[in-house]
Amino acid sequence: MKNPSNPRVRSSTSKKPLTYPKGILVLGMHRSGTSAFTRVLNLLGCALPDNLIGAGDGNDTGHWEAVSVVSLNDQIFMSAGSRWDDWGPLNDDWRQSSLRDEMLQKAVTLIEEHVDLGSLFAIKDPRLCRLADVWLAAMEEAKVEPSAVLMVRNPAEVIASLENRDLMAPGYGQLLWLRHALDAEFFSRGSNRIVCRYDQLMTNWFSVIDRVRTGLGITLPRNSTSVHLEIEQYLNGEHRHHEIPAEAVIGNPALSEWLRKTFAIMMRWSEDGEKSSDYAELDKIRLEFDRSYSTFARLLLPDDLAGEPGLGPRMKRELAGQVIAAQTASEEAEGRVYAAAARETELAAEIARLEAATAAANSDVEREAQHRKAIEAQLAEVQHAAQNAQIAFEEAEGRVSAAVAREAELAAEIARLDAVSASANLDVERETQHRQAIEAQLAELAEKGREHELRNAELVGRLAVAESTMIQRQEELAQLLAQFLESEAASAQAIAQGTIAQEQLLDAKQHIAEAAVQFEDLAQCSAAEREAADIKIARLQTEIVQITQMLQKQEEEAKITQDAREFAEEALAAEQEKTNQLDAQLKQLQAAKQSADSARVMAEQKLGDRFTEIARLTTMLADEGAKVDHARANEEWLRSALQLAASFPKWWAMMPQKWRRKREHARYRNSGLLDAESYLEAYPDVAEYGMDPVRHYILHGMAEGRDITL
């Protein structure tokens, strides 16, 4: 490849007047400290546009580069068929084409926009290293006095940072560092420039800024003590993660000689100033490096080796997220285990309590059932006794009815005697005969009276037995209330009939008195007739006395029957109350049994629910345990894979992809981590996509649960 002449070489007498605005191009490879240096210039008074790229992976405090500048540089690379991570030179045809002029005018427009910000401004973008000639020419066309700061950092630190941030292959990082360093120096050669180092900025920033002021001939309007304190707080070293001595690069024969020589020259320039005698060496290195690109470009492509911006931190965050998720899941699982254990203890206690309550309820139910059976037996006995009492009462009621009938017969007899007394004055003989008949009848009545007395005594005894039976079987009388009411009505009728008999007796007495008067009127009659009348009267009086006594006995019998009925009613009421109480107790026992059955059913249901909950918690615990084990297994696999990857020789990165991956896959297979061929056979979509199996499993397969034990 033909080495083009440097379009930026010009004499020191071609500087523009100092009255022009001043623009500083910050040139440096990615991860070389250009962001920190640009921010320091900004704090000291260099203007920056508002449309800056914000903080991101690897630049927590911001990039301090304009979005419009980065966008235009990407357009330039695209128009030239290149990209920011291409390690080859920008082709000469593009620089000779009209596209360069078109892009130059766009750069002029952006420079003019920066001029509007102030008389001193800075433009920073690592892409400027490869396009410095375009932007320096744009500054001149925009009547801006250009300056350049070449920011250099130990390439070993840059490579380590790119590998950490983008997973860029170390060998490819060396190529990019060398490309940016050589192009930045070549395309800014002859301009107003100075070389600074990142380690000097971090250790003694004030001396670096002082060299920039004197070396570029600029003034920094905000160069004050308060700003110095702000700069010191900004450059606190927290964001510097790699420190490697320069001797580890310059004196390391394992690294490229081009890289070691270029870095050594830049180190000298940062200490002693730029030496034109070094130009030839740098041009020779650049020419040889450009020629090597045509030889190895097809083997060392960015798609395979450059990684992706921010891929490393993103993967670390994903892995950290997986680890945190696994730890969180483990802690949650442990918490659930503890909660489940506590819950299991509570459930065991609850189950024991429910079992005790169920046993007590069953015992109560059994006792209530036995009590109920006893009550039912007592009720059966009472019902049997009530039936016997009913039979005895019916017999007593029959005797009472017989007594009432006898009272009716006596009333009829008294009526007949009244008729006889009325006809006594008609015929003494007939009266005598009739008296004899009456005497016979009275004897018969006396006999019947004695029989009646015997029947009354028997009735009284049976009533006493019935009373004793009713006292012993009081509950049996509950069903006899209606029958007692009927008996009461019959007794009332008998009493009414007795009252009628008494009235008839009074009438008979009156007739007898009248007869006595009549007999007294017969004083003139013969003595025999008077004697017969006296005898008749005496007999009638005796009969009246007997009838009266019989009526008294009937009244006493009715009174006894009434007392027995009242006592029976009282006993019936008391026994009815007891029966009601027994019914209430029976209902309470039935309700208690029903409640106990319901409680037992609920307890069994709760117990079943608790067992179901325990089974569900056990299943969840097993699932969470499996997830934790899976996460821990993934974490252990990643550690092993990272350790294995760290053992790969660094020179592998310079070799062709197929050659390198074949050996990497062999090591992964021999270590038992992953068999690439089996993985691709098991998952044709990965083979179709063309992605490295190891990388696919780390980025996607692990999260998707793909199996590597194939």
Per-residue pLDDT reduced to its tens digit, 314-327: 665 665 666 666 56
pLDDT at residue 630 above 70?
A: yes
Which of 22, 37, 322, 289 is closest to 152 using CA atoms?
37
Q: What angle do CA 95, 101, 107 make, to 5 degrees?
A: 105
Per-residue pLDDT reduced to its tens digit, 86-117: 888 998 999 999 999 999 999 999 999 999 99
**CA-to-CA separations, 456 to 452, 470, 500, 645, 700, in angstroms, rounded:** 6, 20, 22, 129, 117
pLDDT at residue 481 above 70?
A: no
Lowest mean pLDDT among 58-67, 331-340, 403-412, 597-606: 403-412
pLDDT at residue 33 above 50?
A: yes
Which of 692, 697, 700, 696 is closest to 709 using CA atoms?
697
Residue identified by tokens 């050996």 is 663
Amino acid identity of residue 289, one-letter, is F
Give the pLDDT of residue 110.
95
For 131, other C-beta atoms within 10 Å of its C-beta total 25
pLDDT at residue 418 above 60?
A: no
Per-residue pLDDT reduced to its tens digit, 215-247: 999 999 998 888 888 888 888 766 565 567 777
pLDDT at residue 337 above 70?
A: no
Q: Would strands 22-27 and 145-152 be described as parallel, antiparallel, or unpaired?
A: parallel
Global pTM reads: 0.47
pLDDT at residue 674 above 80?
A: yes
Q: What's the token pair of residue 708? A: 């590597």
pLDDT at residue 476 above 60?
A: no
**Residue 193: which pLDDT band, with cuts at 50, 70 and 90?**
very high
Give the pLDDT of residue 197.
92
pLDDT at residue 3 above 50?
A: no
Work out the angle between the directed axes of helices 225-234 and 34-43 (0-180°, nearest 10): 160
pLDDT at residue 47 above 90?
A: yes
User: Which is higher by pLDDT, 163 or 513?
Assistant: 163
Give the pLDDT of residue 45.
92
pLDDT at residue 669 above 90?
A: no
**Residue 138: which pLDDT band, with cuts at 50, 70 and 90?**
very high
Backbone φ and ψ of 193, nearest 5°: -145, 170
pLDDT at residue 393 above 60?
A: no
**Residue 459: which pLDDT band, with cuts at 50, 70 and 90?**
very low
DSSP 8-state symbol, 652: G
Cβ(5)–Cβ(96) under 8 Å? no
Q: What's the token pair of residue 414? A: 């008294």
pLDDT at residue 710 above 70?
A: no
Average pLDDT over residues 624-631: 76
Cβ(29)–Cβ(17) under 8 Å? no
Q: What's the token pair of residue 346? A: 């509570």
Q: What angle do CA 631, 632, 638 make, to 5 degrees?
A: 90
Give the pLDDT of residue 367.
72
Lowest mean pLDDT among 101-105, 494-498, 565-569: 494-498
pLDDT at residue 202 above 70?
A: yes
Give the pLDDT of residue 108.
96
**Residue 128: which pLDDT band, with cuts at 50, 70 and 90?**
very high
Q: What angle do CA 484, 486, 491 make, to 5 degrees?
A: 90
**CA-to-CA separations, 594 to 361, 586, 600, in angstroms, rounded:** 10, 12, 10
**Distance from C-alpha of 342 to C-alpha of 451, rounded to nearest angstrom:** 93
**Residue 122: which pLDDT band, with cuts at 50, 70 and 90?**
very high
